[in-house]
Amino acid sequence: MSPLPSRKKSEAPRAYARGIFKASAKPAEAPYSAPSESHSSPSFRTGYSAKAGKREGIIFCLLLASLLLHGSVLSQPKPSAVEDSHLFKEGETLFARGEVEKALWRFKQLVTEHPRSPLLNESRFRMAICYSHLKRHKEAVQVLNGLLSTSPPPPRMVQLFTLLGDNYLDLKDRINALLWYGKGILVPGQPHDELKKKVRSLIDTLDTEEELSQVELTYRGAYAGGYAKLRLAQMAKKLGYDSVARKMLSELEKEYPGMDYSVQAKEVSESFPLPPKSKYRVGVVLPLSGIYKSFGEKALDGIRLAVKEKESKGKIPLISLIIRDSKGSASEAEKAVEELAKGEKVISIIGPLLSITVDRASQKAQQLKVPLLSLSQKDPSLGKGEFIFQNSLTPVDQIQGLVAFAIKDLELRTFAVFYPNSPYGFHFKNLFNQEIVRMGGRVLGTVVYQEEQTDFRQEIKGFFKVETIQRQAGTKKKEEEFKQGLSVDGLFIPDTHDRVGTILSQCAYFDIKGTTFLGTNAWNGSGLFSADAKAIEGAIFVDAFSKEDSRSKNFVDEFQKEYKRPPETLEAICYDGARFLQEILLSKSPSTTSELKEEFRKFHPFKGVSGLKGFREDGKANRTLSIFRVKNGQIELFSQ
């Protein structure tokens, strides 16, 4: 179908002006017309040249002024309202007929020729729609992004976000499509059902754990993140990983309350078989929300694995866990202990984990006479409490084990400390210095650095009195050579494995020799190997657990199978604590919390993967720590 005829620009104003000029031409002819033969007498010409000439001159001036005035007005084009609205209507008509390319041309013409038109943004919006229909998605995205800066009202904002999502989806960019759909869902006071449907449909096309995990991580806390977590839970359930699925559904309920996919989540939850009533109820208090959530989840994984291992199909479970979230708050931890002891009638409580929560939780447990197995490294302030037990790798235990090995086994005598300016670094530095002196060694100096520091050259050169040796001309050695003016037998660095790796690399650069590097269990991580292999060779650290230890193989394999990741020291300690409690409940069958408390302090032939043997009279863990060494780029058990 041929396009509607369109008038050339300014054609109407010109015709309008020509008509006015033609109508006003006749009255102006008289003063300029040549005289007729009947008036050719000299007397007429003489009279005309005097008064009549003067009068006609005045009339001529007035008419000329009038023509100039009206001419200037008439020469102005008519306002653009008629023409831009005409183009807009033509564009809409053409689009309705399916002639999208021609409709796009009309809207582009309006935008180009009438930049101040009230229809400008409407035309740009329709241009974006046309581009979308024509599969010119990048051009559509460009126009839509430009419209976002015009502060559109909420209904149009939702339309823009929806179109952006649609175009990115057609561009095979699903992450950005979800981004724009999600922004549309966040616009208040507008219907969101269609956008939510688009999000669900898009995520339903993802069929791998990696893709769903990426969406869940990228949009955590948003509608898309929750639905991706639901899909992950469904996938885990289908593959038989019920514990993983339960954990995800529990998180989903807490993190995404009121979402419209809660019905689907409930259906998955109800598909799990109901556990039979257990013989004992055990409380768990951990930070399962807030900034320490990841630590609480790791601890819970270790506890759950220990409980699951003792479950047998067709038999009544020995233990059921009653879990409470401390939220990283002392008051919440205390409240949880009271609720578990009074309301749930638990036989024992595992937790809390954080130092800031242990005092009030311990006081409440002692008051209510329920055994509490603390996972915190901090000693409870109440002193010796007969119902309080401490299952953790304490700083004192680490320092005593590390220093004893360094002085007795390695025969080191002089030491130094590089430590971060943090409570952790300061506490370990003081404990190390005190223990070295107590064991007969000498600390020649300490150096403090900032927590986020990455360049330690000044500290290394200053302490070890490093001097630069001038390189001789013609030698093929490295550009700079160094001479070490001070040496110590051992350098203790109480910091995380990633930063320690950086420090040791820089020590190697300055040729620091004759020093054994010593560390805490915080060294037990992959970041240690970011250093040059030679730099960390022979480094020593203390820990309670290593997944490379052959004695922990069964635990490591079962944990990997259950949670799809390897365990770390925290999980191993929590696993041992839960297993120790289970062994007592299974073998001794205590009927009261007081009976259980007494059994905790008795000798039991227990061998934990984290070195746990039992608990002493003061409630502290009786644990054998291990010394680990870096050898040939691997962490190996050196001594136990």
> For 404-435, what is the HEC assignment?
HHHHHHCCCCEEEEEEECCHHHHHHHHHHHHH
Least confident of 259-268, 322-331, 419-428: 259-268
Q: What is the pLDDT of residues 120-136, one digit of tens each?
A: 999 999 999 999 999 99
Does pLDDT of 595 surpass 50? yes
Does pLDDT of 19 surpass 90? no
The dotted CATH code for 79-151 is: 1.25.40.10
Architecture of the CATH domain 395-543: 3-Layer(aba) Sandwich (3.40)
Confidence of residue 369 (pLDDT cuts 50, 70, 90): very high
Q: Say what the pLDDT of residue 14 is.
A: 32
CA 94 to CA 4: how far, in whole Å?
A: 9
Helices 423-438 & 395-404, crossing angle to 10 degrees?
40
What rounded mean pLDDT belongs to the chain? Answer: 84
Q: Say what the pLDDT of residue 582 is.
A: 93
Reference 448, options 437, 463, 433, 438; nearest CA is: 463
Task: Note whether 79-151 and 275-390+565-617 share their fold.
Answer: no
3-state secondary structure of 467: strand
All structural domains of the chain with their residue ranges? 1-26+57-74, 79-151, 275-390+565-617, 395-543
Number of helical (H) and strand (E) elements in the chain, helices listed first: 25, 16
CA 512 to CA 518: how far, in whole Å?
A: 14
CA 508 to CA 388: how far, in whole Å?
A: 46
Does pLDDT of 478 surpass 80? no
Look at the block and give the residue holding tokens 């944990």. 559
> In the chain, pLDDT over 90 holds for what percent of residues?
59
CA 390 from chain center: how many Å?
34
CA 360 to CA 369: how far, in whole Å?
A: 14
Sequence letter at residue 432: F
Count the Cβ atoms, other than its own, within 10 Å of residue 546: 22
Count the Cβ atoms, other than its own, within 10 Å of residue 551: 14
Confirm if 519 and 484 have CB atoms less than 8 A apart.
no
Read off the tokens for 576: 């041992």
Average pLDDT of 569-582? 95
Strand pairing class (348-350; 372-374) = parallel
Confirm if 588 and 358 have CB atoms less than 8 A apart.
no
CA 287 to CA 290: how far, in whole Å?
A: 7
Q: What is the pLDDT of residues 145-191, one digit of tens each?
A: 999 999 999 999 999 999 999 999 999 999 999 999 999 999 999 99
Q: Say what the pLDDT of residue 96 is.
A: 95
Read off the tokens for 614: 């039992």
DSSP H or E segment with residue 11: helix 11-23
Sign of the C-alpha dihedral computed for residues 164, 165, 170 and 176 taken in this order: positive
Q: Say what the pLDDT of residue 312 is.
A: 59
Q: Say what the pLDDT of residue 42 is.
A: 35
Reference 488, options 517, 459, 448, 508; nearest CA is: 517
Does pLDDT of 78 surpass 50? no
Q: Say what the pLDDT of residue 276 is.
A: 62
Q: What is the DSSP letter of 392?
A: S
Q: Say what the pLDDT of residue 518 is.
A: 96
Range with the largest mean pLDDT of 50-59, 242-251, 328-337, 479-488: 328-337
Look at the block and give the residue holding tokens 């960390």. 536
Q: Say what the pLDDT of residue 15 is.
A: 35
Confirm if 620 and 633 have CB atoms less than 8 A apart.
no
CA 118 to CA 111: how far, in whole Å?
A: 10
DSSP-assigned beta bridge partners for residue 492: 417, 518
Q: Say what the pLDDT of residue 272 is.
A: 73
Read off the tokens for 586: 């299974």
Does pLDDT of 526 surpass 80? no
Average pLDDT of 207-225? 91
Average pLDDT of 38-42? 37
3-state secondary structure of 375: coil
Q: What is the DSSP string of 493-542?
A: --S-HHHHHHHHHHHHHTT--S-EEEE-GGG-SGGGGGS-HHHHTT-EEE
CB neighbour list of residue 595: distance below 8 Å, 6 or more residues apart: 588
CA 443 to CA 474: how far, in whole Å?
A: 42
Q: What is the pLDDT of residues 446-465, one digit of tens each?
A: 999 998 899 999 999 999 99
Q: Residue 633, by phi and psi: left (phi above 0), alpha (psi -120 to 50) or beta? A: left
Topology of the domain covering 275-390+565-617: Rossmann fold (3.40.50)
Cis peptide bond upstream of 352, omega within 30: yes
Q: Does 239 or 164 have the greater pLDDT score?
A: 164
CA 202 from chain center: how many Å?
21
Average pLDDT of 461-483? 76
Confirm if 604 and 581 have CB atoms less than 8 A apart.
no
Count the Cβ atoms, other than its own, within 10 Å of residue 522: 22
Q: How many CA atoms lie within 13 A of 158 on its CB side?
A: 14
Output b/e per residue, 148-157; b: 16+ Cβ within 10 A. eeeeeeeebb
CA 315 to CA 310: how far, in whole Å?
A: 10
CA 447 to CA 393: how far, in whole Å?
A: 25
Q: What is the pLDDT of residues 548-569, one digit of tens each?
A: 777 788 999 999 999 999 999 9
Reference 377, options 573, 518, 519, 582; nearest CA is: 573
Least confident of 57-66, 200-209, 518-527: 57-66
CA 304 to CA 296: how far, in whole Å?
A: 12
Q: Say what the pLDDT of residue 139 is.
A: 96
Residue 491: phi, psi to the nearest 5? -120, 115
DSSP H or E segment with residue 543: strand 540-543
Confidence of residue 238 (pLDDT cuts 50, 70, 90): confident
Residue 456: phi, psi to the nearest 5? -115, 15
